[in-house]
Chain A
Amino acid sequence: NAGVTQTPKFRILKIGQSMTLQCTQDMNHNYMYWYRQDPGMGLKLIYYSVGAGITDKGEVPNGYNVSRSTTEDFPLRLELAAPSQTSVYFCASSGQGGYGYTFGSGTRLTVV
């Protein structure tokens, strides 16, 4: 039971570099989400998707992009990394109805 798989687990980026955080789920869930967790700030929604080909912005989308070409994959793209994007990123998925997320183990990103 893989659930939600995120790669990489850790990454250090230099300011201005770009990268893609990968997220794959094997539960055939329609709903997928990207959150970031900053210390003392809880989880903030970056982008979400309700199905393949459908994405929408969350609370903090600036500096990020997503795509959802398949049900399984929901990559998060960072363009022109900034120190403010230093955070722990979590991908999550849920079945029809949208409640009861299954989270991945997270990607810890540091931008220097």
Chain B
Amino acid sequence: DQQVKQNSPSLSVQEGRISILNCDYTNSMFDYFLWYKKYPAEGPTFLISISSIKDKNEDGRFTVFLNKSAKHLSLHIVPSQPGDSAVYFCAASGLSSSNTGKLIFGQGTTLQVKP
């Protein structure tokens, strides 16, 4: 029972173009969503988050969009840079986890940005 799904295992884009990474969730109780980036042989690092009371959050080149009715969120990277090449994990948390901080992670999407 995969509550958070990233259906695209990989994505390849050209440097300077937009990268769009997608994430779907099934649990309507999720109210906080995060994106993590992971380089090989390193632990994931926090990238950006969004609360369910918002539909967009922007931080520099990174923007996360949340569509609650579709239970879908996406991460936009504009412009994409070769250093963005990494695995991106979507994660979610809900009211039931508010006192534990437990996150449910998606399978990850490997982004390759070509020079």
Contacts and interface: CB of A to CB of B under 8 A. Distances in A.
Interface of A: 4, 31, 33, 35, 40-45, 48, 50, 56, 58, 90, 92, 94, 97-106
Nearest to A31: B101
Interface of B: 4, 6, 9, 32, 34, 36, 41-46, 49, 89, 91, 93, 97-108
Nearest to A45: B102
Nearest to B93: A99
Contacts of A106: 41-43
A40 B9 contact: yes
Contacts of B97: 98
B107 A103 contact: no
B100 A48 contact: yes
* Nearest 6 pairs of A and B residues by beta carbon: A98-B101, A103-B43, A43-B105, A42-B107, A42-B105, A31-B101
B68 to A, nearest CB: 19
Given A41-B107, A99-B32, A50 B100 contact: yes
